[in-house]
A and B are shown apart, each in its own frame.
Chain A
Amino acid sequence: MAHIPNEILQAMVDHAMDDLPNEACGMILIGRSDRQMTVHRVTNTAASPYRYEMSPLEMMKLEQKRDSENLDLFAIYHSHVASAAYPSPTDVRMAFFPPGETDNEPMFPETYYVLVSLENNKPDVRAFHIKKYGEISEESIESEN
């Protein structure tokens, strides 16, 4: 079960809407001791409705922030503008390094992959773990205020 406060869910939906028609992407960091979450928008350098590529420089800065401020990478999120909130085959492939080497451990085994779908009027947000061999396991989201 993924515990995600409503305001954090809303922040991801807002980002997805702001970046239409393109996919939006970003990260949620969480304090190791206080469990405070923060949403960090990352530029989608692909600027496409069908793809996202997180700006490597922004990613590096977030990772350095994480190292220096004792934070964990709680979730990697991105939007699907016209398909379900479920990881695509490409999303799964790219969770591994090198891409598609699903016999390796995924790059971020502990991190949730959160998908925001805008395909219907009501946005849908779902969370997953992507595991070795490309297995997708959905984790139900428990939202709280």
Chain B
Amino acid sequence: MTPVTLSHTLVVRVENKPGVLARVAGLFARRGFNIVSLAVAPTENSLFSRLTIVVDAESSPLEQVVKQLDKLINVVEIQELAPTESVARELLLATVQVNDGQEDRVMKNIENFEANILNVGPQKIMVSLSGDVNQVDKFEASLEEFGIIEIQRTGTIALASISNS
């Protein structure tokens, strides 16, 4: 189980200006708030970027994190996304060892998780999976038995759920 309660997901809209990421990262570092993951990219409006920051709740009292972030002049809006009211995804890329005789089990595993095959070579396969953190964690664990050669995860990105009202 991903320890949902031990982390908070913040979606932060910032001005798309040079150095903004350094300001955010520097703030976390100097106040002793630990980042579990951070993803950043421009938004639909090129003046702004959106960050999804997953913060470790134990090191980082949420109220302080939010208020200190809010003091950064370039931070425009901060939303805390409750797991029940948001959709979160993470993308994983991995190059996996495929030893002789393991081919079927590797393929079966990929099918089970509905992962994608991106690239194939001698005794190696590159796969991708996007899903919620739990799924991605499980998939990563399942690959360990074959041997992970390289792995890269994006960290969580999230948006608020579309409200029904």
Q: Do A and B come from one complex?
A: no
